[in-house]
């Protein structure tokens, strides 16, 4: 039982009016250095830490790979960190949930000619939904993760802000975090200036993962080969078809639409003449449509499933002047968001962007600031 504290108890480092020893924190531990440092840091500060690792996918030979989170070795590493720092650690089997909520949609999106971002869906549908509910079942006061993003208290409640280190910022992958989730979540690494600081902390705490390499690619995709995973999940998905130009002229053949992405130039096998890029994928006719670079330029982007994090409702204004990211690796660029409903909008880029692809996220940022205002999913639109 927690002791009754005076009304004027100061807030602890997690922003809660309790002594650290009376504050239970569930830490989502992937087995990597980031979440391990979060757990160790909070344990050293005296919090009641409970480490939880999710077993997300089949660890058999078909999908075994190094450098991915939540595989067998990573579960072992997370357990060793918990033993080192002296807090309990649990492994939860979420394979079925992960397959249904993330992997199946990933396969279907690729087959529909989209370029999905399964890491966002995993945060949205597994880590920040089911795991967060599990944390509440464990009577936790909050849940902490190793994500590089900042949570700040604003005039109307918690706000989401970019990480201090722009090279590590993970805001693109966390735009779908809801205000209710944000009230319960904590991101203790978001203020660090560099990954070097995180590794220095890991060494300070004597963690066995201090020198562990960062995870790469998508956890269930071996060697970065999306196509091989799709073929395994959807036999026959890699049927060959035609490569055509914008007028419909056949330029060659391809080995399956799933092997191509919007904006791709290399590996088309149609050399000679001006450089050609993939500008559209048509799974229905099994066609890959190519064209010159200028054909990739997009100004108007239909966006749906919007999660809005602004202080006013999205529909409170006819237009929002913001900056947006349409890929995780690109800097934000100025845009106008015109709401169509509480969850749909048309986004106009002030300068056209190349390679905008259905299935990617369009994330909204405060222009000239660090706040994330939400975002949604790019789709083909009603007239496509």
What sign has the CA pseudo-torsion 315, 321, 326, 327? negative
Q: How high is the pLDDT of residue 116? A: 86
Instruction: Say if CB 238 and CB 226 are below 8 A apart.
Output: no
Distance from CA of residue 284 to its chain's centroid? 29
Please indicate if the annotation marks 33 as binding a ligand.
Answer: yes
Please indicate if the annotation marks 85 as binding a ligand.
Answer: no
The model's pLDDT over 146-166, given as tens digits with 9 standing for 90+, comes to 999 999 999 999 999 999 999
Computed over every residue of the chain, the mean pLDDT equals: 89
Please indicate if the annotation marks 284 as binding a ligand.
Answer: no
Please indicate if the annotation marks 241 as binding a ligand.
Answer: no
Instruction: Say if CB 120 and CB 173 are below 8 A apart.
Output: yes
In this structure, of 22-26, 56-60, 74-78, 142-146, the range with the lowest mean pLDDT score is 56-60
Contacts 24+ apart (CB under 8 A), 178-184: 178/128, 178/307, 179/309, 181/128, 181/132, 182/151, 182/157, 182/158, 182/309, 183/157, 183/158, 184/132, 184/135, 184/136, 184/142, 184/143
Domain limits, CATH 2.30.30.280, in the chain: 238-291
Q: What are the backbone angles phi and psi of residue 371, rounded to the nearest 5°? A: -80, 140
Please indicate if the annotation marks 54 as binding a ligand.
Answer: yes
Specify the residue for token string 């996220």. 361
Beta 287-291 vs 345-354: how paired, if at all? unpaired
What lies within 8 Å, CB to CB, of 316 at 6+ separation is none
- CA dist 249 and 252 (Å) reads 9
Instruction: Say if CB 24 and CB 139 are below 8 A apart.
Output: yes
The model's pLDDT over 260-311, given as tens digits with 9 standing for 90+, comes to 888 888 878 887 778 899 998 888 898 999 999 999 999 999 999 999 999 9
Q: Which CATH number fits domain 20-205: 3.40.50.300, 1.10.10.60, 3.40.50.620, 3.40.50.2300?
A: 3.40.50.620
Domain limits, CATH 3.40.50.620, in the chain: 20-205
Percent of the chain at pLDDT exceeding 70: 92
Q: How high is the pLDDT of residue 71? A: 57
Please indicate if the annotation marks 29 as binding a ligand.
Answer: yes
User: pLDDT category, 173, cuts 50, 70, 90?
Assistant: very high
The model's pLDDT over 182-223, given as tens digits with 9 standing for 90+, comes to 999 999 999 999 999 999 999 999 999 988 888 766 788 867
What sign has the CA pseudo-torsion 251, 255, 258, 259? negative
Q: How high is the pLDDT of residue 60? A: 46
- CA dist 11 and 20 (Å) reads 10
Please name every residue paired with 51 in a beta bridge, in sequence order, or none if there are none.
27, 89
CATH 3.40.50.150 fits 238-291, yes or no: no
Tell me the whole-structure pTM to 2 decimals: 0.89
Angle at 333 between CA 332 and CA 336, to 5 degrees: 120
Q: How high is the pLDDT of residue 271? A: 72
Please indicate if the annotation marks 31 as binding a ligand.
Answer: yes
112 burial level (CB within 10 Å; 0-12, 13-18, 19+) = middle
Structure tokens at 54: 């999710």
Domain limits, CATH 2.40.30.10, in the chain: 297-378
The model's pLDDT over 78-122, given as tens digits with 9 standing for 90+, comes to 999 999 999 999 999 998 899 989 999 998 888 888 888 899 999
24: left (phi over 0), alpha (psi -120 to 50) or beta: beta
- CA dist 173 and 199 (Å) reads 22
**In the CATH hierarchy, which fold is given to the domain comprising 297-378?**
Elongation Factor Tu (Ef-tu); domain 3 (2.40.30)
User: pLDDT category, 59, cuts 50, 70, 90?
Assistant: very low
Please indicate if the annotation marks 288 as binding a ligand.
Answer: no
Helices (H), the chain: 33-44, 72-85, 95-98, 104-111, 118-122, 132-137, 179-184, 195-204, 226-233
Q: Which residues are catalytic?
A: 122, 219
Output the CA–CA distances (angstroms, integers) from residue 346 to 140, 317, 328, 335, 340, in the order listed. 39, 13, 20, 10, 7
Give CA torsion, residues 90, 95, 96, 99, to 10 deg: 140
């Amino acid at each position: 039982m927690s002791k009754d504290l005076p009304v004027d108890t100061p807030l602890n480092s997690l922003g809660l009016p309790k002594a650290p020893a009376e504050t239970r924190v569930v830490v989502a531990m992937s087995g990597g250095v980031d979440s391990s440092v979060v757990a160790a840091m909070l344990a050293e500060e005296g919090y009641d830490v409970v480490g939880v690792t999710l077993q997300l996918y089949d660890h058999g030979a078909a999908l075994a790979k190094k450098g991915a989170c939540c595989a067998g070795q990573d579960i072992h590493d997370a357990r060793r960190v918990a033993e080192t720092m002296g807090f309990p650690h649990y492994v939860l089997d979420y394979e079925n949930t992960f397959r249904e909520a993330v992997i199946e949609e990933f396969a279907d999106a690729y087959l529909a000619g989209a370029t999905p971002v399964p890491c966002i869906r995993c945060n949205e549908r597994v880590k920040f939904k089911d795991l967060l509910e599990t944390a509440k079942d464990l009577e936790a006061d909050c849940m902490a993760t190793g994500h590089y993003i900042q949570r700040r208290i604003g005039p109307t409640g918690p706000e989401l802000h970019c990480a201090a280190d722009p090279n590590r910022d993970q805001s693109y992958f966390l735009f779908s975090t809801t205000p209710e989730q944000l009230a319960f979540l904590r991101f203790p690494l978001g203020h660090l200036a560099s990954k070097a600081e995180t590794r220095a902390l890991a060494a300070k705490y004597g963690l066995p993962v201090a020198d562990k390499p960062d995870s790469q690619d998508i956890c269930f995709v071996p060697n970065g080969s999306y196509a091989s995973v799709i073929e395994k999940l959807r036999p026959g998905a890699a049927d060959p078809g035609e490569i055509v130009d914008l007028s419909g002229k056949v330029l060659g053949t391809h080995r399956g639409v799933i092997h191509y992405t919007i904006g791709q130039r290399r590996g088309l096998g149609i050399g000679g003449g001006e450089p050609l890029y993939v500008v559209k994928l048509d799974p229905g006719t099994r066609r890959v449509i190519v064209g010159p670079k200028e054909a990739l330029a997009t100004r108007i982007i239909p966006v749906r499933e919007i999660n809005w994090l602004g202080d006013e409702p999205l529909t409170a204004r006819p237009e929002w002047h913001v900056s947006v990211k349409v890929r995780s690796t690109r800097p934000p660029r100025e845009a106008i968001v015109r709401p169509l409903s509480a969850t749909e909008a048309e986004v106009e880029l002030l300068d056209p962007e190349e390679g905008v692809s259905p299935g990617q996220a369009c994330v909204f940022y405060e222009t000239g600031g660090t706040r994330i205002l939400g975002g949604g999913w790019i789709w083909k639109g009603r007239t496509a």
